[in-house]
C-alpha cells in the first residue's frame, strides 16, 4: 500500500514526527524543538562559474566562516533540521558580509542542488537576484533567499548533507567572473530538534 500523503494544515513539528516515524526514529518525539540556522561559506575565486560545495568538509573551517562544530555536515543522534528557508550571502576577505546582489557589478544569482545522504532533494533551483524566482519570498528587489513551500525538507540525524552551488551574472546571464575576494555562503534555516530527554516536541 503506498504511503499516504501529508494533507491539511500540517505544522513543521508534524512533518518532523511523520518523517521520523517513517525512518524508524522513535525517540525523536521526546526531543526539544527549536529554531535553528546552520551556515557555511567557501572560497569562490575561479572564473568560469565553478560549482562549489558548501557544508561538506566544514570541519576544516572554523567560526565565523561556518557555525558547524566538529560534527561537520551531519547532525548528532536525536538532532535534526527541517529546512524551511535557504539563503545565500557573500563574505569578503575583509569580513564584510553582504547580499549576493552586490557581487559581479551587475548582481549575482545562484543555481544550486540540496543533497541529503545520496539523494538530491532539490535540483537546479535558482535564487534569482532581483527577479521573481520560484518560491520568491521576501518581496525585496534584491532577494537572495527561498522559502520552501509546504512544510520544508527534513535533514535527519546522522545523515550528511551538502549544497552544490554555482553563481552567474544576473543581468547578462553570463558565467561568473573571477572573484579574488569572495566567499559564497549558504544558510539553512528552519525548525530544529535538539537532544533533550525531558521535553517532547
Q: What residue spans define the domains of the chain?
A: 34-194
Which pLDDT score is estimated for 198?
64
Residue whose cell numbers read 528587489:
141
**pLDDT surpassing 60 at residue 5:** no
Task: Indicate the pLDDT class of residue 1, thresholds 50, 70 and 90.
Answer: very low
pLDDT per position as a tens digit, 162-181: 999 988 887 788 887 766 66
**pLDDT surpassing 80 at residue 94:** no
Q: Taking residues 45-49, what's their average pLDDT?
A: 55
Query: Which string of DSSP letters, residue by residue, matches 115-175?
Result: EETTEEEEEEEEE-TTS--TTB-S--TT--EEEPSTT-EEE-TT--EEEEEEEEETTT-PB
Flag whether the pTM goes above 0.75. Answer: yes
How far apart (Å, rounded) are the C-alpha atoms in residues 130 and 121?
25
Q: Taking residues 33-59, what's their average pLDDT?
A: 82
Residue 185 backbone phi and psi in degrees, to 5 = -120, 160
The yes/no answer on whether domain 34-194 falls in CATH 2.60.120 is yes
How far apart (Å, rounded) are the C-alpha atoms in residues 82 and 156?
8
Amino acid at each position: 500500500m503506498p504511503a499516504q500523503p501529508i494533507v491539511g494544515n500540517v505544522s513543521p513539528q508534524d512533518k518532523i514526527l511523520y518523517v521520523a516515524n517513517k525512518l524508524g526514529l522513535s525517540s525523536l518525539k521526546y526531543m526539544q524543538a527549536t529554531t535553528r540556522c546552520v551556515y557555511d561559506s567557501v572560497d569562490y575565486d575561479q572564473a568560469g562559474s565553478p560549482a562549489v560545495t558548501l557544508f561538506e568538509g566544514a570541519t576544516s573551517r572554523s567560526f565565523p566562516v561556518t557555525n558547524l562544530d566538529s560534527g561537520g555536515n551531519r547532525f548528532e543522534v536525536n538532532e535534526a533540521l527541517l529546512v524551511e528557508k535557504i539563503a545565500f550571502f557573500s563574505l569578503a576577505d575583509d569580513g564584510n558580509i553582504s547580499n549576493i546582489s552586490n557581487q559581479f557589478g551587475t548582481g549575482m544569482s545562484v543555481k544550486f542542488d540540496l543533497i541529503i545522504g545520496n539523494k538530491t532533494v532539490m535540483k537546479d533551483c535558482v535564487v534569482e537576484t532581483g527577479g521573481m524566482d520560484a518560491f520568491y519570498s521576501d518581496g525585496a528587489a534584491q532577494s537572495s533567499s527561498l522559502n520552501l513551500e509546504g512544510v520544508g525538507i527534513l535533514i535527519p540525524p546522522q545523515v550528511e548533507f551538502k549544497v552544490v552551488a554555482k553563481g552567474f551574472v544576473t543581468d547578462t546571464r553570463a558565467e561568473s567572473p573571477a572573484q579574488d575576494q569572495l566567499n559564497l555562503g549558504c544558510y539553512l534555516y528552519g525548525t530544529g530538534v535538539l537532544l533533550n530527554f525531558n521535553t517532547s516536541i
